[in-house]
Amino acid sequence: QEQLVESGGGSVDAGGSLKLSCKVSTSIYATHTMAWFRQTSGKEREGVAVIDRPGNTTYGDFVEGRFTISRDKAVNTLHLQLSRLKPEDTGMYYCAAAPYNTISPIETALYPQLYKTWGQGTPVTVSS
């Protein structure tokens, strides 16, 4: 059984918006810090946003207020609202989870090596 399943990727014009979702298994959702990472052309996987169980968040510097991470407890789902998208945001976006007690403080949580559970990814393409 897959534990993390992403959806919502697609193609948009620059300046547009997308909302990514990650369906999380019940056992993972209750006990893990959740994050979004991305892999863009020519770059290593980088942290986009992280949210812990109480709802504290942190973002990569490149986000510049354009993206919002959130959790929906009612349906065990992680979201990433992408706004004011740029062509350089094009890439594969991944949902990831790490046991909550392995990450503290949240400001240190943007490193992919901290996460052991990953989804398959959802593609985002932004045209200029």
Mean pLDDT of the chain: 95
From 70, 59, 61, 72, select the one nearest 109 (Cα to Cα): 59
Cβ–Cβ under 8 Å, residues 92 and 73: no
Q: What is the pLDDT of residues 27-39, one digit of tens each?
A: 999 899 999 999 9
Task: Answer yes or no: is pLDDT of 50 > 90.
Answer: yes
* pLDDT recorded at residue 2: 79
**Average pLDDT for residues 18-31, to the nearest whole number?**
95
Q: What is the pLDDT of residues 89-123, one digit of tens each?
A: 999 999 999 998 888 888 889 999 999 999 999 99
